[in-house]
Structure 1
Amino acid sequence: MGNFAVMVVSKGKGSGAGVGGHIDREEKWKHTYKHADPTKTHLNRSYPVPNKFHDVPVPIAINRVIQKGYKKTRKNSNELAPIRKDAVRLIKHIFTGSHEEMMKLAADEDKFFEWQKACSNFLQREYGKDNIVRFVLHMDEKTPHIHAITVPLTEDGRLSAKEIIGNKEVLRERLDRYAEIVKPFGLERGLRYSGTTHETQQAYNARLERANEMAMKKEVPDPSKMDMRLKPEKVKEDFQKIIRDQQMLINMAQRSEEERKKSKERMDQHLDQARKLMFSAQKEAKDYKQLQIAMRNPKFLETQLNAVLEQRNQRNQGRNKGKNL
C-alpha cells in the first residue's frame, strides 16, 4: 500500500529564470537545490523538446513560444493585444511517486524509461507539444522525479493559465488520467488532492516526505479521519514568501524590459545617424563624379571661366558707380 502516483502542477509568473536555473542546475541558482547530491548530478537527463527550446535558457524559450503562438488581438483591430505584466507565463509540473516505489522503478532501466516516456506523452496530450520548454529527469535528489515547464497558450493563441489548468474538477480528472497511465509502473492514485496552483517547491518536498512516511507504514490512514486543517500562521507565512518571490521576479522582468527599450532607442539613434552619414557620402560622391565628368569637357572650363569673369566685371561696375555718386 502507499505506492502513490504524484503529479504537482503550479503556476509561474515572472521570467522563469529561477525555476529554470533550478531545473538546469545553473551554478548561480545553487541555493535552490542545496539538498541535491552533486555526485549524482551527472545522472540527470534533459530530454529534447520540440523547436529545440531545451538548448536555450528557460526565459528565452518561454518568450519564443509566446512570440510564435500568441495571437490575441485588440478589440476591432488586427493589432496584437499587449500581455499583462502579471500574466502567468509558465506552468510548472513535477511527476514522481512514493520514494520506495520510485527507487524500485529506477532500478529497472527499461521500465523506468517507459515511465518517463509515458509522462512525456501525457504532457504533450494535455498541454500541446509545442508549448513544452523543459522536460528534465532529476536523479540527484532523494526521490527520482521529472520537472517539466509548459507555456499556457490556448489553441486560439491566448495566454490563459486559468483556462489551461482549469478548475478543481478539471484538475481531478487530469490527475485521474495521469494515475491511469502510470498504473502499469506500480503507482496508484493517492489522496484526491492536487497540490495545485500555488504550491511551492518546499511545500511539495514536505508533502512528498509525508507520503513517503505513510508508505513506510503497514496501513495507510483513512483520509476521512485525517485532520486536514491548516495553521493560519503557516499559511500566511507561506503566501507572504510566495508574494515576495513573485514580486522579485516581476521587478527583474521590468528592469530587463526597461533596459531592452533603452538599448533599442540607442540603437535606433545610431542607425539614424549612420543613414544620414551614408546619404551625405553618397551625395558627395555623386557630385564629385559629375564634376570629374564635366572637367574633362573643355567647354565646361571655358564656361566656368566666363562666369568668374562676368562676376568680376559686375563687382567692378558696382564700385565705379559708387565713386560717381
Structure 2
Amino acid sequence: MEPAATIFIAGNVVFVIVYLYYMFNRKSKIANIDEKYVLITGCDSGFGRAIAERLDQVGVNVFAACLTDSAVNELKVHSKKMIPFVLDVTNSEQIKNTVALVKKKLPDGKGLWGLVNNAGIADSGFIEWLPMETFRKVADVNLFGLIEVTCQFLPLIKKEKGRVVNMASLAGIQAPPVAAPYSISKFGLVAFTNTLRFEMLAFGVRVCCICPTFFRTNILDTEKLVTGMNTLFEAVNDEVKESYKDVPEKVITNLRNIAGEAPVDLNPVVNVVEDALISTKPKNYYFVGKQSILFRIIASCPTELSDWLFAKVNPIFRPSMISS
C-alpha cells in the first residue's frame, strides 16, 4: 500500500475514534431539572451563595442553608422560589430540624436530588502555635458537621438516586504549610467522600468531590487570617516566639500575595458543581483553579521533592530562614 493511502486511512480511523468518543461522552443534562430539589450548606457568601443563585437561575428548587439570619433575608429578597433558612452544621438539633423542614417542603413521594456540602472555615498558623481547640473547631465544621448532615439526608437522596457533592480542596490532596487544621479536615473529607462513593454505588447515588485551589472567598479573607495569626502568635510562650522571630511577617506577606492573585470570578467552581449535579455523567473528582495541575504534580512527587518544591515557591519555609 502506498504511504499516502496508509496515512489517509490512519487519519480517517483516528477521526472516527475521536468522533465516537465525543458522541458517547458528550455532556448531557438530566431531564426535568425544575422538578429536582437540592440542599446547599454555607450559602451566606462565596461558593455557597454563588451556587445557590446559579441553581435557582437554571430552575432547580434550592434549599439554601445559611449560618446567619441576615443571609437568609438577603436570599429571600433575591428569589421567591428559593427556600433559605438558618443551619449551623455543628448543631445536631438544627440538622434534625432541617431534615423535618425539607421533608415538609418536598412534594409527596419526592426525595432530595442533591446535597452540596459547602460550609467550611479555615484558620492559619504554624502547628506549634495552634491550640487543640483550633483543630477541633475547624474539624467540627469542615468534617464532622458535614458527615452528620450527609448521614441525616442520605435516605432522602437514596430515594431519588441523587447526588452528594462535597466541597473539598486541593489542600486535601497536597497539604500546604501553615494550614494544618484546614488540610487535616479536607484530607478527612476526601477520605469520607471516597468511602461514601463506593458505598452508595449499589443505591445509584453518585458522590462527587470538588477540589478548588485559591479563590477570593471569605475563607481567604486576608485581614481575618492575619488578625487570627497575630493573635495565635502573641499567645505562644517566649521560647516559641524566639524560635520563629520575624517569620509571622513573612507569612503575612505571603498570605497577602496569595489573596491578591486569587481569582474573584467564582464561576469555574460554580460550573463544575452544576455539572456534578445535573450532568448525566458526573465526574468523581473536579479539580479547579490555575494552580490545580501544580498541586497534583507536587502531590504525586516523592516527599523529598515536594518539600523542595514548596521551599522554592515559599522561601519563608526553608529551615535556614527560620533558624538564622
TM-score (norm 2): 0.24
Structure whose alpha-carbon radius of gyration is higher: 1
TM-score (norm 1): 0.24
Structure scoring higher RCO (CA < 8 A, sep ≥ 6) equals 1
